[in-house]
Amino acid sequence: TMHCSLLSLGCVFGFVPANNQTNLTALRALKIAQRRLRPEVRAKLLSVSSARTDGSLAPEAWRFVFLDPSTSGNCRVVTVAAKTSSEHPDTVEAFSSAKTESVPTTHVIAQNKWVMDSDQALAQVRGAAKLKGIRAAEYRLGEPRSGQEPLWTLYFYAESAEPVARFQVGARTGAVKILANE
């Protein structure tokens, strides 16, 4: 079984200049993350997740898990943050709730089918539902089955630690599906 740990595999930080006013979307962060990897690992993206956002609902840090058989855990974790210091503790703490990644249930994301970026997925959800009282969001991208469309899952939070709403958005088609809360 493959288990990736953010701390045991290490964390590679990529940074976007602080004076850059545009949001750090998942696709922009992916390009930064891929520069830190060997060419044979870059195309083997297993999952994408964001740290929990603030009220703007725009993530400031992204966590990418790549299949990498040459590592002890068979995967490599790369975190890209919109901060200017590699010593920024919030980035690691933001992902402390997701320290272990169980990889056998995930498939390599077909990056050529991933055309809808994180900000576009949010816009699709906002177009499909009213998001009143939402104070934070979390984003995850995965591919349920090999060859299928990658899916964004967006979790929205009000005042509690549990999500109040969950949506799936097709990363190619933009189709929105409301998920029942567990």
Please give the Cα distance from 43 to 41 (Å, whole number). 6
Residues contacting residue 3 through CB under 8 Å, at least 6 positions apart: 73, 100, 101, 102, 103
Does residue 7 register a pLDDT over 90? Answer: no
Regarding predicted confidence, which is higher, 10 or 36?
Answer: 36
Q: Which two tokens stand for residue 32?
A: 């930064």
Regarding predicted confidence, which is higher, 7 or 71?
Answer: 71
pLDDT at 181: 67
Q: What percent of the chain has pLDDT over 70?
A: 74
In sequence order, what E strands does the chain have? Answer: 3-5, 12-15, 45-50, 61-67, 75-81, 100-102, 136-142, 151-157, 165-170, 176-179
- Looking up tokens 């998942």, which residue turns up? 26
Does residue 120 register a pLDDT over 90? Answer: yes
With bands split at pLDDT 50, 70 and 90, how would you rate the model's confidence at 35?
A: confident
8 Å CB contact between 100 and 63 = no
Residues contacting residue 42 through CB under 8 Å, at least 6 positions apart: 34, 66
Does residue 25 register a pLDDT over 90? Answer: yes
Q: Which two tokens stand for residue 64?
A: 């990418």
Chain mean position to CA 139:
5
pTM for this entry:
0.79
Torsion angles phi and psi, residue 36, rounded to 5 = -90, 0
pLDDT at 4: 54
